[in-house]
Chains A and B, each alone.
Chain A
C-alpha cells in the first residue's frame, strides 16, 4: 500500500478535486460513526427512560420514530460540521473538504442543501455517486445540485516533513539527499 504514498505529490494536489476512493472511505467512516453514535444515543435514551422515568422503551419497537430520529440525526451529523468547517468527521480523517464550486468557503445554506439532496445519489443504483468517477470535477449529484465540490485539504506540508523526519537519511523521496537542488533548466 505504501507504494501509493508520495508526500510531495500530495502537497501539489492540495486544493484539487478529491477522487472516488477517498470520498468513499470518508463516507464509510461517517456512516460507521453515525450509526455507532446513533446506537449509543438510542441506548442511552432507552436507559434514561427506563431508569429515570421508569418507562420501558425499545427503539426497535418504534421503527417510524427511529427512522425519523435517524434522519434528523444524520442531517445534524453532516450539516452542522459541514456548515461550520466544510468537513465531516470522515472527510476530516481523509483530509477532504467541501467547498463551493469556485473554491470559496461553504456556507450553511449550501451545506444544508447538500445534505438534504444527498440521498438522491442513492437512486438508480447509486448513479449520483457514479458521477464522481465520470465527471472531470469529480462532483456527485449532491455536489451538482448544491453547487459544491470536494477537494483535498490537509496540512500536507507538515505531513511531508513528518514523513521525511521519520525516514532514514537517504531514504526520502526520489531526488537524493543533496541539500541544494540543481538549477532549473
Chain B
C-alpha cells in the first residue's frame, strides 16, 4: 500500500498496484459489511443470554479485588456519594432482617466501641421519661428479689431518720404510753429530774465561766457509761 520510491522494475510496481487496489477494495467492502451487518448481528444477539452463559463467579474469582480496591480512591468515591439519598432509598428494616445480629455483635469489639462513645452526650440525648413510659414497671418489680433487696437496706439507718417524737405525738401511741406508765407522781418526777438537770447545767456554765473553762462544755462521764452510749435507766452495766 506504500507507493514509496524503490528500485523494483515495472512488473513489480504493476503487481503491487494490483494488490493494493484489491486490498483497498476489500477494506472498503469489510467496512461496508461491518457497518451494514454489525448492527443486525448485535440486534440478533441476546445480550442477557450471553451474560447468563458467562460464569460470573469464575470471572470474579479471577479478579484481584485487593488490587482493584487499592487503585480506587475510596475517599473520593465516598465523597461523591449522597449518603442521605442512598439511605433514603434503603429499606433498613429489610436489611436488618437479613442481618445475623448475633454474628455481627460477636465480631464487634464492644469495649473499643464504648471507649469511643461519649456516654454523657448519649445520655443527654435520651428522653428518660419516654423510656420509662415504655417500661413495664410491674414486670420489673416482679423480677426483683425483695429479700435480697432488703438485705442490702440498713434498717437502723432508716429508723434513725424516723422522728419518733412526732410519730408518738401524732398517733394514739402517745396516749397509750401516757396511760400505761405515768401517773401524777411519775409526771412530777419526770419534770423534777429534767428541771434538776437544767439547773445543774445552768450552775455549771457559770462555774465554768468563773474558772475560765468552756461554758458550753457538757459534763463528762465515767468511761464505761459514756462510751457505751446507751442511755437508759439501767445505765450501770459493768
Contact = CB atoms under 8 A, between A and B. Distances in A.
Interface of A: 1-22, 25, 86, 93-95, 97, 99-105, 133-134, 136-138, 149, 151-167, 169-173, 175-181, 183-184
A19 B168 contact: no
Closest 5 CB pairs of A and B: A4-B198, A19-B200, A103-B222, A103-B224, A14-B231
Contact of A179 (B163, B197, B233): B163
Nearest to A14: B231
Nearest to A13: B197
A154 B235 CA distance: 8
Interface in B191-238: 191-204, 207, 211, 218-226, 228, 231-233, 235-238
A10 B222 contact: no
Contacts, number: 207
Interface stretch (B8-16, B108-116, B122-130, B170-178): B170-178
Identify which of B196, B204, B222 gathers the most chain A CB atoms within 10 Å of its CB. B196
B179 to A, nearest CB: 9
Nearest to B196: A22
B24 interface: no
B contacts with A: majority SS: helix
A22 B192 CA distance: 9
B97 to A, nearest CB: 51
A136 B162 CA distance: 35
Contacts of B237: 105
B193 A102 contact: no
Contact of A104 (B194, B199, B203, B238): B238
B220 A94 contact: no
Contact of B168 (A133, A155, A165): A165
B27 interface: no
Identify which of B163, B187, B200, B238 gathers the most chain A CB atoms within 10 Å of its CB. B200
A183 B224 contact: no
Contact of A158 (B181, B200, B201, B202): B181
Identify which of A15, A94, A163, A177 gathers the most chain B CB atoms within 10 Å of its CB. A15
Identify which of A14, A18, A138 gathers the most chain B CB atoms within 10 Å of its CB. A14
B167 interface: yes
A180 B174 contact: no
B186 interface: yes
B224 A102 contact: yes
A157 B225 CA distance: 16
B221 A15 contact: yes
Nearest to A7: B194
Nearest to B228: A15
